[in-house]
Structure 1
Amino acid sequence: MSFADASLTALRVFREVAERGTLTAAATALGYTQSAVSRQIASLERAAGTPLLERRHDGVRLTPAGQVVVRRAAGVIDQLDATARELAGLPDERATVRLGWFASAGAALVPNALVALRRTHPAITVITREGSTPTLVRALRAGAVDLAVLASAPPYRPPDSETPALELRTLAERGLRVALPAGHPLARGDYVDVADLAGQRWIAGSGADQGMGVWPGLGERPRIAHTARDWLAKLQLVAAGCGVTTVPASLVTVVPAGVRILPVRGGPGEQRRILLARLPGPLPEAVAPVAAALRAAAVTLDAGSG
């Protein structure tokens, strides 16, 4: 069996595994059993004559051969999907750009960029999806998104160790802040001293993101009163007086009533970067205006949150 005999189904399954990072997550997304996904991957590896995935305790990682396959598979699948749409008489999607973004970027940055883009480039359709930074990096590698807005914290390591390295551009860099109920004693000033954060009730992220929402480097085990994945839910809990949480400065312009967002003084500076990431190579014609709109929106948002 040669690789030319690999099935389209196997290629789709392989791209999903590469994007999701685990066989289980890919099976759930596709509506398959995990054993069915394993069989498709095994058939593709037989056709390739070499392992395409490295199985690890925390999921899978693409081998060098797997990186080649997922890059080529993305092009094949996209071309076949475009052909199917053309045969069905559906609109041409050559001006469609797929954008991924991490949670808080969807509060203001991405919507503001899309509003501006509709005015300047109405023929471009942008399809967006939210995800964690690791998920979006895998989606870039798998060819499932064209651009991704990522979050980065010190020491600002590359988002992954794969080659070729992703092309990164810093959209903004601002200090992390703390969100407090408007009636909270610490909300009376213009800033919060880091020592005063001891003993506070925190509203943190859920699951693997539980550390998000708690001030980094606290000299104690944090008292987590509530967990929520959604930033708006966290801020509404703050407004209700249920606790405090951390927020990026970019959310200053979209906080609900009853919340004060203040900088924190003392201790190491807690800076956060917003990055725009893509695979290296020439920027596709339709992608360039989207990237430009995100850069412009980040400048405007940065000015408004100062």
Structure 2
Amino acid sequence: MIDVQRLRVLRTVAEHGSFNRAAAALRLTPSAVSQHVAALERSLGTRVVERSTRGVTLTQAGHIMVGAAESVAAELTHARRELDRLGTGRTRITVATFTSGGRLLLPGALARLTAAHPGTVVHVREAEPEESLPLVRRGDVDIALAYHFDGPLPGRPGRRTAVEWTALPADPLHIVLPEAHPLAGRQTLDIAELAEEPWVLGCLKTEAYLRRYAERAGFTPEVRGTTTDYFFACSLVAAGVGVSLIPSIALTPAPPGLRVVPVSPPVPARHVGVAVPRGRGDDPYVTTLVGALRDEAAAVRTCRGDLIDGIAH
């Protein structure tokens, strides 16, 4: 018999990378954490962590058991919510979302959810994918509206995924210039053509993309503005502080004083999608909300092309 508490301890150790930090999170002693893990290893007959002076890392068996721990936690959370529904007659849905996607896609989708399922209690929390996808895996949220750039979804390598991912239309990045900029009339621009321009950055992930591209193109971007808000970044571009690289979702509605120019192929993009705990994809509330988000994204994609064309010309 595998002890659920020991699985919880292992999952926390995996999240924090050490017994000491896991102990602080669990309000246990490091010795107690170590004993829980050792007991789990004895019950399984195999090691789940490798111990070193630098901390602990999961073995292959450990990755499997952490995936199981997340599935168990998600099932227990779902069961508690079902019990709440039986007791109150109301269903609670918790949604995590990144800011720009939530602003544009989520309101209409939530309106459709509550119209289809009256009495649904909706909770929304803002979270970037690095936070929201683990929340889905643990069952702490029912749905996450998230994105990723190059490569796979954020997560720990070497173990099976505990989420189901529904892709929405991609969100291409565009070059944003002051409307009086000499290149504002171009149909497309290669980022290398802006090597001498100062830059305003509205997100750490687009900064990482820009710096990778700039390195390949042989230049180092001069950064004059850094924010975590694309809308603030647009206002700095309009003020002449620099140029920027911004996803098209964040350019809706059209910001004043700017020109938006598509990037020459290959076009960088955010890959937007909806994550739900594995096995929850057929829940009627989840199905309604995922379908509504897909429809909202398709509608935005249709009008976005006209909008970007309008800003660009």
TM bucket, shorter chain: 0.7 to 0.9
CA change 1:250–1:210 in 2 (3 A) is: closer
CA change 1:47–1:117 in 2 (3 A) is: same
Aligned counterparts, 1:238-253, within 5 A: 238-253=237-252
Q: Which residue number in structure 2 is paired with residue 260 of structure 1?
A: 259
Query: In percent, how many aligned pairs have the same letter?
Result: 26
Q: Which residue number in structure 1 is paired with residue 293 of structure 2?
A: 294
Equivalent-residue separation in structure 1 for 2:143 and 2:209 (angstroms): 26
Deviates more, 1:240-249 or 1:72-81: 72-81
Contact 2:199–2:223 under 8 Å retained in 1: yes
Q: Which whole-Å deviations, capped at 9, do the CAs of 1:259-291 have from their partners, x for residues lacking one?
A: 3322123x5332432122223325212111110
Equivalent-residue separation in structure 1 for 2:107 and 2:55 (angstroms): 34
DSSP-derived class of the 2:284 partner: coil
Contact 1:182–1:259 under 8 Å retained in 2: yes
Q: Which residue number in structure 2 is paired with residue 280 of structure 1?
A: 278
Q: Which residue number in structure 1 is paired with residue 152 of structure 2?
A: 157
Aligned counterparts, 1:57-96, within 5 A: 63-77=63-77, 79=79, 91-93=88-90, 95-96=91-92
Q: Which residue number in structure 2 is paired with residue 22 of structure 1?
A: 16
Contact 1:201–1:223 under 8 Å retained in 2: yes
Equivalent-residue separation in structure 2 for 1:174 and 1:240 (angstroms): 25
Equivalent-residue separation in structure 1 for 2:223 and 2:236 (angstroms): 13
Residue 139 of structure 2 corresponds to residue 147 of structure 1? no
Residue identity matched to 2:189: V
Equivalent-residue separation in structure 2 for 1:165 and 1:74 (angstroms): 9
Equivalent-residue separation in structure 1 for 2:209 and 2:119 (angstroms): 39
Q: Which residue number in structure 2 is paired with residue 200 of structure 1?
A: 197
Aligned counterpart for 1:182 among listed residues 175, 179, 182: 179
Runs of at least 5 residues in structure 1 that lack an aligned partner in the other structure: none
- How far residue 302 of structure 1 moved from its aligned partner, in angstroms, is 0.5
- Root-mean-square deviation (CA), in Å? 3.9
Residue identity matched to 2:16: T
Equivalent-residue separation in structure 2 for 1:238 and 1:108 (angstroms): 21
- How far residue 293 of structure 1 moved from its aligned partner, in angstroms, is 0.9
Contact 1:192–1:263 under 8 Å retained in 2: yes
| Structure having the higher Rg | 2
Q: How many residues align?
A: 289
TM (normalized to structure 1)? 0.75
Residue identity matched to 1:137: L
Equivalent-residue separation in structure 2 for 1:142 and 1:2 (angstroms): 18
Residue 100 of structure 2 corresponds to residue 108 of structure 1? no
CA change 1:113–1:169 in 2 (3 A) is: same
Aligned counterpart for 1:131 among listed residues 112, 127, 131: 127
CA change 1:299–1:17 in 2 (3 A) is: farther
Equivalent-residue separation in structure 1 for 2:129 and 2:106 (angstroms): 15
Contact 2:230–2:250 under 8 Å retained in 1: no
CA change 1:42–1:142 in 2 (3 A) is: farther
DSSP-derived class of the 1:211 partner: helix
Contact 2:49–2:56 under 8 Å retained in 1: no
DSSP-derived class of the 2:207 partner: coil
Q: Which whole-Å deviations, capped at 9, do the CAs of 1:137-164 have from their partners, x for residues lacking one?
A: 222222222222222334x535444314
Q: Which whole-Å deviations, capped at 9, do the CAs of 1:65-117 have from their partners, x for residues lacking one?
A: 2222232133335545776x689x8x455x22222223431231223322343
Q: Which whole-Å deviations, capped at 9, do the CAs of 1:139-191 have from their partners, x for residues lacking one?
A: 2222222222222334x535444314643222102432112223333324444
TM (normalized to structure 2)? 0.73
CA change 1:103–1:58 in 2 (3 A) is: farther
Equivalent-residue separation in structure 2 for 1:68 and 1:221 (angstroms): 44
Residue identity matched to 2:283: P
CA change 1:80–1:117 in 2 (3 A) is: closer
Greater helix proportion: 2
Residue identity matched to 1:68: A
